[in-house]
Structure 1
Amino acid sequence: MDYKLLIAIIALFISLVNLSWNIYIKVKSEKRKLLIQSYKSKSNDTFNCVVTLINVGNKPIFIRRIELDEKVNGKAQRRHLDFNNYSKEFENVPINPENWKTLIFKDNKHFSFFDSEAKKFKKTRLTVITPKGEKYSTKWFGQNNLR
């Protein structure tokens, strides 16, 4: 076997690895990423859930809606968040890369964040949904979901 052919095969292999790596990095950098940090707090006699949405990706993220699930007797139940309270924040306005938005949800007639019988915060999960149907969720959390 000629040494020139061997060098050409090695060069071809290295260039294919380099091409594959560049394609992988390009696809990975184009993904949208949303970090959701949330915690519950008490002020006077009301309970709040503070949510911070941080875009850690490289593309803007539009928000269609935010859903709240709550564990009641071990089963997940969807709770209604009033979209009118926060829709103006997201109406045709994306969260740009390296920017954030903070929202405060308060107890309402449909749900409360605090269980007065058990005297602790209820287990909650937040899901953010984009117009394309992409979902970003937190884990189930009681007091806070800060990382």
Structure 2
Amino acid sequence: MKNNTDILLPLGRAALGVLFFVSGLLKIGGFAGVAGYMASQGLPLANILLVGVIALEVGGGLLLITGWQARWAALALALFLIPTTVIFHAFWSADAAHFQDQLTNFLKNLSIFGGMLLLVERGFGKASRLAKGGSGRN
């Protein structure tokens, strides 16, 4: 099983990274619409916040994909998911037509949050252990 961990941890980390990287790139292409949606949810300075979100998602996603500073990237993305999930997927206040979609998105984000916590605990994986000559915890 140890050999599977050496392969699966980096693959899982990269898959989580791709999610954020692509999401950030899509926000660039749809900047005006995303900023408008953020403003409609009551966020002040949506344009400025969105630039930060894009930087976090693209940068954090790349860090997870490459494994460099993976723990810090995972921690930053986990913290980002908390307000994002509560603000944008508040199923408890959704109308009947949107309740199921918001609950599904809330649970999806909760699962991604769990993945980020696992990465904070596990770090980069085998390549990190080899580079450091140690336990692989970066």
Q: TM-score, normalised by structure 1?
A: 0.27
Q: Which has the higher strand share?
A: 1
Higher Rg: 1
Q: Which has the higher helix share?
A: 2
Q: TM-score, normalised by structure 2?
A: 0.28
